[in-house]
Amino acid sequence: MCHIPHPVVASIIWVHIFDPNNENPKIRPAVVLEVYEDEERFLYCGISTRLPDPLTDQYYMMESTPVGHRRSGLKQECAAVCTWVIEGSYDIIVDPSGYMTTYHFDELLGRIDAHKPPAT
């Protein structure tokens, strides 16, 4: 299924995953957060086109245009869901899409950190 050798941190890829409620499996975009090459696994944040109005800080808007953004490759208005962080294996990767700039990626990581549950 994978068309790229391995995921790269800050890249945007299409993966076959379930939604945040662990239902409705389909191909969705995601941002690669960390890569564990020795295990052929990676940590990613799901991207959704279903956005609340008004947008909360749980969502990080992604760059997109109707023809596909020049960096992200995303064509629909969408956001990374900062509470939808999952580990997956390379075999769920379908296609590459694009990448996030270092500035935007660092902002996303900060937002994700802010939404992590407190350590017990």
pLDDT of 37 reads 80
Q: Where are the domains of the chain?
A: 11-114
Topology of domain 11-114 in CATH is SH3 type barrels. (2.30.30)
**Residues of the chain scoring pLDDT < 50:** 1-2
Question: For 97-112, how does the pLDDT look when each residue is reduced to its tens digit (9 = 90+)?
Answer: 999 999 999 999 999 9
Cα angle 86-92-94, degrees, rounded to a multiple of 5: 125
Confidence (pLDDT) at 4? 57
Separation of first and last alpha carbons in the chain: 38
Which of the 8 DSSP states describes residue 90? G
pLDDT of residue 1: 47
Percent of the chain with pLDDT over 70: 95
Sign of CA dihedral 94, 95, 98, 102: positive
- CA-based nearest residue to 83, from 49, 108, 119: 108
Return the pLDDT at 98: 94
The answer to whether the beta carbons of residues 120 and 97 sit under 8 Å apart is no
E-assigned strands of 22-92?
A: 26-36, 41-48, 59-61, 79-89
Q: Report pTM.
A: 0.92
| pLDDT at residue 6, rounded to an integer | 79
